[in-house]
Structure 1
Amino acid sequence: MVAPNGGTRRTRREVLAAGAATVAGGVAGCLDSGAGAVSVLSAGSLARTFEEHVGPAFESETGIELRGEYYGTNALIRMVEDRTKHPDVVVSADAALLRDRLYGSVTDWDVAFAANSLGIGYDTRTRLGSRLDAGDPWYELAPNADSDDISIADPDLDPLGYRAVQGFELAGRTHDLPTLKRRMLGIVYREPEEPQLVTGVTTGSRAAAIVYRNMAVDHGIGFSEFPAEYNFADPDLADHYATVEYTTDGGYTAPGRPILYNVTVCDDADAPAAGRRFVEFLADNPDRLTAAGLSVGEELPRAAGDIPEAIDP
Structure 2
Amino acid sequence: MKKMVLALVVLALLMCCCQQSTKQSITETTPLKKVTLTIFHAGSLTIPLQELNEEFESYMKTKGYEVEIRTEASGSVMAVRKVTDLGRKADIVAVADYTLLPTFMYPKYADFYVAFARNELVLCYTDKSKYADEINGSNWYEILEKNGVKFGFSNPNIDPCGYRSVMAMELAELYYGKPIFHDLIEKHTNIRANGTKIFSPKDVTTDEKILIRDKSVDLIALLESGSIDYAFEYKSVALQHNLRFVELPDEINLRNPSLKDWYAQVSITVWKMENGKLVQKEIRAKPIVYGVTIPKNAENREIAEEYLAFLLSKRGREIFKKNHQEFLEKPLGFGNVPELIKKYVKIVT
Structures share fold, TM-score greater than 0.5: yes
TM-score range for the pair, normalised by the shorter chain length:
0.7 to 0.9
Q: For 1:264 and 1:65, how far apart are their aligned partners in 2?
A: 19
Displacement of 1:54 in angstroms is 1.9
- Counterpart of 2:336 in structure 1 is 306
Normalised by the length of structure 1, the TM-score is: 0.83
Task: Indicate the larger mover: 119-128 or 37-46.
Answer: 119-128
Q: Spell out structure 1 runs of 4+ moving beyond 3 A.
A: none
Displacement of 1:102 in angstroms is 0.3
Which of these residues, 138, 146, 155, is aligned with residue 140 of structure 2? 138
Which of these residues, 252, 257, 263, is aligned with residue 230 of structure 1? 252
1:195 aligns to 2:217 (yes or no): yes
1:293 aligns to 2:315 (yes or no): no
- Counterpart of 1:256 in structure 2 is 285
Task: Indicate the larger mover: 67-76 or 194-203.
Answer: 194-203
- Counterpart of 1:247 in structure 2 is 269
- Counterpart of 1:5 in structure 2 is none
- Distance verdict in 2 for CA 1:135–1:303, change over 3 Å: closer
Higher strand share: 2
Displacement of 1:129 in angstroms is 2.8
- Distance verdict in 2 for CA 1:96–1:232, change over 3 Å: same
Contact 2:159 2:215 in 1 (8 A): no
- Distance verdict in 2 for CA 1:270–1:297, change over 3 Å: closer
RMSD (Å), alpha carbons: 2.0
Letter in 1 for 2:116: F
Task: Indicate the larger mover: 284-293 or 194-203.
Answer: 194-203
Which of these residues, 66, 69, 72, is aligned with residue 66 of structure 1? 69
Letter in 2 for 1:265: I
State how 1:132-281 maps to structure 2 within 5 Å.
132=135, 137-146=139-148, 149-177=150-178, 179-185=179-185, 186=188, 187-250=209-272, 251-281=280-310
Displacement of 1:270 in angstroms is 0.9
- Counterpart of 2:39 in structure 1 is 40
Higher relative contact order, chain-length normalized (CA < 8 Å, sep 6+): 1
Normalised by the length of structure 2, the TM-score is: 0.75
- Counterpart of 1:113 in structure 2 is 116
Across the two proteins, how many residue pairs are aligned to each other? Answer: 277
- Distance verdict in 2 for CA 1:56–1:241, change over 3 Å: same
Structure 2, gaps ≥5 residues long: 1-30, 62-66, 189-208, 273-279, 344-349
Q: For 1:57 and 1:223, how far apart are their aligned partners in 2?
A: 30
Deviations 1:76-132 (A, max 9, x none): 222211135321110111111111110021102112221001110111222233323
Q: Percent identity?
A: 27
Q: For 1:56 and 1:145, how far apart are their aligned partners in 2?
A: 46
Displacement of 1:146 in angstroms is 2.9
Contact 1:58 1:278 in 2 (8 A): yes
Contact 1:81 1:102 in 2 (8 A): yes
Displacement of 1:256 in angstroms is 0.3
Secondary structure of the equivalent of 1:267? coil
Q: For 2:49 and 2:210, how far apart are their aligned partners in 1?
A: 28
Contact 2:216 2:232 in 1 (8 A): no
- Counterpart of 2:19 in structure 1 is none
Decide which structure has the larger Cα Rg and report it.
2
